[in-house]
């Protein structure tokens, strides 16, 4: 038989797309269609809500990169978001409203803070790493609270959104929505490329056995520090977008409860799955929006739900779905075997 026959059979039966590949496509397609669906309802409200969801998804993806693939549980990740937001607000208060200036400054501020704090934090591990990242996050929070010229505890209002080379494209709500969507897609693809690269394999290896990696010549500390800096930069990008979205910044952006919310997002979706961070952000923020309209004690309802997910849904909502799908596939096989 010639070599062409196997190739012909392969072409005739293309590889089926797995669920792990299909879910991100569905998510981003859904985001892209939201503005069209919003035309049939409260357009401004829906666009505002889903823009916020995508901004926090960017921050959650950055956190999942170090938690899910590097086992570096940070409780100070909101500091990077706050730094990015304050970079926009402080520049705006001095008359600088061009995104070509404020975006690089926001990314640089968050990245440098990540490098400086990561250089210290990564000397520790386990619960000590969690506590020192929490301490650095609170340090940023109290520093922002003490900035009296920039609002202090009361926060700072941004009187106009950034322009791009003089074009005020951020003012258009729909245009800004798609800019945020493009940023989310870019961050997702970047982190996905990092995870499957040699760098990502070393990062995952360090999660499993850092001693063995060090023994074969890899500088684990350097790899983890770079990953931490990338995570911080994504947080800074989220802060830049959040400041332009809300047109207001506050020290609360850096508080430890905000970092806790980001942890909850990746727990809900499934740690170590980049699209799981997006799903977690969607579920948390939409459920919060819905329950807060029902009762002011919505956290008393959401808290037990989260506990049940952690206890019984190994791998978050994605893990729960995979378990249900596996059982459904198993039932026909069992029936056929006993029949």
pTM: 0.89
> Does 323 fall in a domain?
no
Residue 151 has pLDDT above 90, yes or no: no
Least confident of 121-135, 231-245, 293-307, 310-324: 310-324
> Does 23 fall in a domain?
yes
Mean pLDDT score, 26-31: 94
| Residue that has been written with the tokens 């900035």 in this structure | 147
Residue 125 has pLDDT above 60, yes or no: yes
Q: Calculate the CA 100 to chain-centre distance.
A: 23
* Residue 164: DSSP 8-state: B
Structure tokens at 199: 């760098």
Structure tokens at 153: 């505890």
Tell which residue, 224, 306, 286, has the closest CA to residue 46: 286
> Does 316 fall in a domain?
no
Q: Report DSSP letters for 54-121, one per residue.
A: HHHHHHHHHHHHHHHTT----S-THHHHHHHHHHHHHHHHTT--BHHHHHHHHHHHHHHHHHHHHHHH
Mean pLDDT score, 208-224: 87
> Does 100 fall in a domain?
yes
pLDDT on residue 273: 87
> Does 313 fall in a domain?
no
> Does 310 fall in a domain?
no
Q: Identify the band that residue 277 occupies on the pLDDT scale cut at 50, 70 and 90.
A: very high
> Does 120 fall in a domain?
yes
pLDDT on residue 17: 62
Q: pLDDT digits over 279-314, tens only?
A: 999 999 998 888 888 877 777 887 888 777 777 767
Q: Which residues contact 88 (CB under 8 A, 6 or more apart)?
A: 102, 106, 158, 162, 239, 240, 243, 244, 249
Structure tokens at 118: 């990561």
Residue 61 has pLDDT above 90, yes or no: yes
Q: pLDDT digits over 243-270, tens only?
A: 999 999 999 999 888 999 999 999 888 8
Q: What is the domain count for the chain?
A: 1
Better-predicted residue by pLDDT, 206 or 102: 102
Q: Render the burial of 80-105: b for 16+ CB within 10 Å, e for the rest.
A: bbbbbbbbbbbbbeeeebebeebbeb
Query: Residue 221: exposed, middle, or buried by beta-carbon count in 10 A (0-12, 13-18, 19+)?
Result: middle
Mean pLDDT score, 146-154: 89
Q: Please give the Cα distance from 300 to 297 (Å, whole number).
A: 6
Least confident of 15-29, 105-119, 120-134: 15-29
Residues in the chain: 339
pLDDT on residue 91: 95
- Where residue 225 sits, what CATH number does that domain have? 1.10.3470
**Which domain, by its residues, includes 147?**
18-297
């Amino acid at each position: 038989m010639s070599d062409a026959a196997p190739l012909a059979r392969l072409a005739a039966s293309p590889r089926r797309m797995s669920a792990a590949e299909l879910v991100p496509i569905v998510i981003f397609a859904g985001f892209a269609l939201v503005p069209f669906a919003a035309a049939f309802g409260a357009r401004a409200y829906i666009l505002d809500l889903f823009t916020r969801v995508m901004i926090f998804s960017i921050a959650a993806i950055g956190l999942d990169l170090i938690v899910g693939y590097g086992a570096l549980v940070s409780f100070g990740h909101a500091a990077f978001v706050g730094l990015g937001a304050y970079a926009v607000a402080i520049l705006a208060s001095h008359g600088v409203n061009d995104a070509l200036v404020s975006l690089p400054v926001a990314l640089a501020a968050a990245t440098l803070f990540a490098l400086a704090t990561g250089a210290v934090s990564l000397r520790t591990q386990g619960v000590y790493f969690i506590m020192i990242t929490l301490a650095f996050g609170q340090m940023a929070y109290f520093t922002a609270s003490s900035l009296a010229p920039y609002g202090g505890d009361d926060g700072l209002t941004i009187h106009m959104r950034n322009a791009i080379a003089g074009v005020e494209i951020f003012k258009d709500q729909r245009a800004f929505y798609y800019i945020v969507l493009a940023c989310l897609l870019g961050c997702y693809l970047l982190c996905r490329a990092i995870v499957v690269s040699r760098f990502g394999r070393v990062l995952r290896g360090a999660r499993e056995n850092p001693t063995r990696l060090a023994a074969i010549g890899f500088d684990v500390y350097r790899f983890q520090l770079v990953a931490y800096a990338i995570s911080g930069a994504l947080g800074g990008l989220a802060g830049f977008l959040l400041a332009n979205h809300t047109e207001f910044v506050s020290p609360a952006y850096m508080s430890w409860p905000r970092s806790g919310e980001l942890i909850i997002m990746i727990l809900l979706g499934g740690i170590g799955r980049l699209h799981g961070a997006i799903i977690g952000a969607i579920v948390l923020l939409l459920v919060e929006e819905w329950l807060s309209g029902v009762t002011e004690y919505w956290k008393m309802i959401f808290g037990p739900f989260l506990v049940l997910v952690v206890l019984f849904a190994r791998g978050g909502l994605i893990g729960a779905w995979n378990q249900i799908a596996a059982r459904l596939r198993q039932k026909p096989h069992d029936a056929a075997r006993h029949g």
